[in-house]
Structure 1
């Protein structure tokens, strides 16, 4: 049956014509044609090598697969000599068996090696760095994404990504203005950067406009990753990108890891921090070592260490007592605490008096929810620290339970506690928990849970958060004289798109007056 699509018919016809022209030619001529085709295929593979990166990277970082291929080929040849036709099946079976079994074993070996190296490199500490009250982490990621979308006024673009950046000394959630829709995906570039102030509870959004030659979101010929794998390092694992705005120019920073090879008892690799790739607005790529990245003026305030590597190394410390222990007695085994937070998980980036720092809270393996350790990773140097409390402290998951218990009038069918972050105030550990609506349209309030006593302190404004972090246990969280009291009502003025525009606190001896047109209704404040 002839193909119905006209283009496909032309392709088939062209192929048939090519076959007819090859008929009757000498083997030498055919060899020349094949050589040309091979060269064309090699050139295409070289140009589109970014698309081959996942396969190349998998083979490169899993040398046991190459061993399986060699052994499988040898077995196939020997089997075929004994029983003709048996070789391919026998060789394939051996390759699959060795590849699957070897990959599982090397995964355990890599985890043990990475965990042992992390434990050896970490500095044990009895204190944690004080949280910087001027750079509080107020807005969770889900709310920041909602703020960025609600204030977007570019019909051909959407927000993409979502990571922390520092802009003019203030931490922001950063998003790329990526083309929206199939047509725009192929015809437009990244149009700018959307910045959401992380330190302000209400929507404080700033947009930096300007097309990037190689950006986040467009088709491959305008995409940063395609260009990065062509002009930057190839045999590396690039982490998620984040936007950096410096002196009005937009850059894309991409931390990456490189493999470290281990050959015994069988070949395997473990990841290590390789550096940071910096993509300029004109598409040029600067490949920076960790030391060069720290000295680069564009990256002077930014976190540089790969997020995924921090989590992987801390999680690998579960093998501190060996692989067998994780299958048997689980002695001193840990696990990274699972925490609520839509689209976000540990480690959390916090800003301390010593600079940007990843924090990872770990719990004992199993059903226990106490705090086993807090791991810190310097966001610029990659130095690891381990804080082991000398007393019983509540963990991240339990902190959210205490928030629910303390706010008995909150409708937990409509609200959820999100992203419990460890903060340190006057040497005391608290869990900072944001309570947000299920649609992430804003922040209802913020609770600080004392990790030692489980006492819950609630604040409802950014000023209240700063006051708490500055050491005021019962901060004045309003405009009037509240004597440290908690508000009875929290009234939010919400825009039509769901963005919280303004927050008002009402106390027990005050009333709420709602005016609509000529009608006035006065209601006593008696509950949240």
Structure 2
């Protein structure tokens, strides 16, 4: 029996259509109530050419097929026919998405690169670092030490991120979230914990674990912060990890917000935008602040506001700044083509780096290298203000600067006595500036990430390496201390796991006079008395 569209009132009528419309409204209502579950689908349908074509056309086809009269007297055959039509529309949507999506993706990168360059200011020298807030404690070491210092039976520490403490120091901050499925349903996030990252010795841990969040991290469904963020502002993305911090003794969480802007020519495409910050209070209140409101907020003063995820996309787009064809692998000239400098496996961090500049100005820093498989020298260094989203960059010109991968190699090659990979590793290279010069600040830690044995700075201009074993000397060096004076303190690494390093005392002729073992975490204060020479 062939398919047909029934026209008789006995086959199809107003009543049947009304029932199906009612069912559709009920389903739509359920989807609305549980809309955070479908956030990704609907957001892409509204803010992506491919998502609009695939999702929009398919959704329209499903609705039309559901409301349309039967296509055959047999219910099974009618359903099969409608499913076939929906499948055809889906295939058409996928094909159109590919046709439009391929050029749209390239145009998105090109437009983003143009926007980034239009808003960027080239600087003649590197911005000054905040010498009082060095990034000393790597994330992995902080995680091991912090988790080993707390005891919560129903809770655990969530993912760490960088936030500012009330006294201005930088810290790894953690949500104290429910642990286990049952607790995720019934218990609440109990506050936040902050672990100082600016010291080698006696790092302070501040636990604000008596401030339960009505909606928070590690809580399921309608009790979770993510659910309520999407529920209260559906047409934004929350791609960054939350920033847990404390202001006037009260715990908060901040979520940078991302949106998208449509560009209709020459092919429809979108680029990410900064939509502000969502500020979560312990009582469950969520303030959705515009960028201007977030910058004026006393609570958010000194914290990161601009999405780190947006910065990563913008930095990766810079390869397209001289045109789409220029960066193509076969026909491209690669003139001025830069790409984000690579980090070796096991580095423990990724770009953009988060560092504190002078006047407590958090910045996202990205090192760019020239395009090419064998090029590892730096071409540009970009600084994105984490508070305003403003761009600055330093171009190296004819000077070749050492990149992070090479800097880590210098650290290892300068010390052949350490059992690299077996006992100790070099991790977390972070760019810092000393007297307007770029240095790579790496840390040497045991493989179990239980401590920090030393800080090593590698000059990106000369390749000079400076080893430092205590916090105060790190601060003195970052403030412009003489590297040669720092190097005069004789030290040697140790293969003994119970010894972090040795202080080696030598005479004027270089003869070794004494060797003092220093235990991991031991605080050392070296005082050198010299008589004034006439």
Instruction: Check whether TM > 0.5.
Output: yes
* Equivalent position to 2:491, from 487, 490, 494: 487
Inter-partner Cα distance in structure 1 for 2:496 and 2:469: 10
Give the structure 2 partner of residue 49 of structure 1. 35
Give the structure 1 partner of residue 244 of structure 2. 243
Give the structure 1 partner of residue 409 of structure 2. 401
Give the structure 2 partner of residue 206 of structure 1. 206
Give the structure 2 partner of residue 112 of structure 1. 110
Contact 2:404 2:440 in 1 (8 A): yes
**Shift in Å at residue 157 of structure 1?**
1.4
**Shift in Å at residue 32 of structure 1?**
6.8
Give the structure 1 partner of residue 528 of structure 2. none
Contact 1:159 1:178 in 2 (8 A): yes
Cα 1:282–1:127 change in 2 (3 A) is: same
Inter-partner Cα distance in structure 1 for 2:170 and 2:199: 10
Give the structure 2 partner of residue 326 of structure 1. 327
Give the structure 2 partner of residue 438 of structure 1. 447
Choose 56-65 or 156-165, whichever is displaced more: 56-65
Inter-partner Cα distance in structure 2 for 1:33 and 1:144: 60
Inter-partner Cα distance in structure 1 for 2:55 and 2:145: 51
Inter-partner Cα distance in structure 2 for 1:164 and 1:68: 38
Contact 1:421 1:432 in 2 (8 A): yes
**Shift in Å at residue 43 of structure 1?**
2.6
Choose 325-334 or 109-118, whichever is displaced more: 325-334
Which residues of 2 match residues 478-517 of structure 1 at below 5 A?
A: 484-489=488-493, 506-508=503-505, 509-512=513-516
Determine helix, strand or coil for the equivalent of 1:237. coil
**Shift in Å at residue 430 of structure 1?**
0.9
Inter-partner Cα distance in structure 2 for 1:423 and 1:261: 37
Inter-partner Cα distance in structure 1 for 2:274 and 2:134: 27
**Shift in Å at residue 262 of structure 1?**
0.4
Q: TM-score, normalised by structure 1?
A: 0.82
Inter-partner Cα distance in structure 1 for 2:237 and 2:358: 31
* Equivalent position to 1:473, from 482, 497, 501: 482
Which residues of 2 match residues 18-97 of structure 1 at below 5 A?
A: 37-67=23-53, 90-97=88-95
Counting matched residue pairs gives 471
Cα 1:471–1:65 change in 2 (3 A) is: closer
Give the structure 1 partner of residue 220 of structure 2. 219
Instruction: Please give the per-residue CA displacement for 1:405-462, whole angstroms capped at 9, x wherever unaligned.
Output: 1111111123222221111111121111112223222212111001111110001221
* Equivalent position to 2:375, from 364, 368, 373: 368
Give the structure 2 partner of residue 7 of structure 1. none
Inter-partner Cα distance in structure 2 for 1:92 and 1:310: 34
**Shift in Å at residue 68 of structure 1?**
6.0
Uncovered stretches (5+) of structure 1, i.e. residues with no partner: 1-25, 478-482, 495-501, 516-528
Contact 1:467 1:475 in 2 (8 A): no
Determine helix, strand or coil for the equivalent of 1:298. coil
Determine helix, strand or coil for the equivalent of 1:173. strand
Question: Once superposed, what is the RMSD of the aligned Cα atoms?
Answer: 3.0
Cα 1:187–1:506 change in 2 (3 A) is: same
Inter-partner Cα distance in structure 1 for 2:351 and 2:337: 18
Choose 409-418 or 315-324, whichever is displaced more: 409-418
Inter-partner Cα distance in structure 2 for 1:442 and 1:101: 53
Inter-partner Cα distance in structure 1 for 2:118 and 2:109: 14
Contact 1:424 1:430 in 2 (8 A): yes
Inter-partner Cα distance in structure 1 for 2:277 and 2:28: 30
The answer as to 2:294 corresponding to 1:288 is no
Contact 1:468 1:475 in 2 (8 A): no
Give the structure 1 partner of residue 525 of structure 2. none
Contact 1:304 1:380 in 2 (8 A): yes
Inter-partner Cα distance in structure 1 for 2:57 and 2:39: 25
Determine helix, strand or coil for the equivalent of 1:510. strand
Inter-partner Cα distance in structure 2 for 1:115 and 1:200: 38
Q: TM-score, normalised by structure 2?
A: 0.81
Inter-partner Cα distance in structure 2 for 1:106 and 1:126: 35
Cα 1:148–1:103 change in 2 (3 A) is: farther
Contact 1:423 1:431 in 2 (8 A): yes
The answer as to 2:365 corresponding to 1:359 is yes
Give the structure 2 partner of residue 379 of structure 1. 386
The answer as to 2:172 corresponding to 1:181 is no
Inter-partner Cα distance in structure 2 for 1:38 and 1:93: 24
Determine helix, strand or coil for the equivalent of 1:266. coil
**Shift in Å at residue 392 of structure 1?**
1.9
Instruction: Please give the per-residue CA displacement for 1:327-353, whole angstroms capped at 9, x wherever unaligned.
Output: 133222111112245553111111111
**Shift in Å at residue 301 of structure 1?**
1.3
Choose 102-111 or 370-379, whichever is displaced more: 102-111
**Shift in Å at residue 35 of structure 1?**
5.6
Determine helix, strand or coil for the equivalent of 1:422. strand
* Equivalent position to 2:465, from 453, 456, 469: 456
The answer as to 2:400 corresponding to 1:392 is yes
Inter-partner Cα distance in structure 2 for 1:356 and 1:70: 40
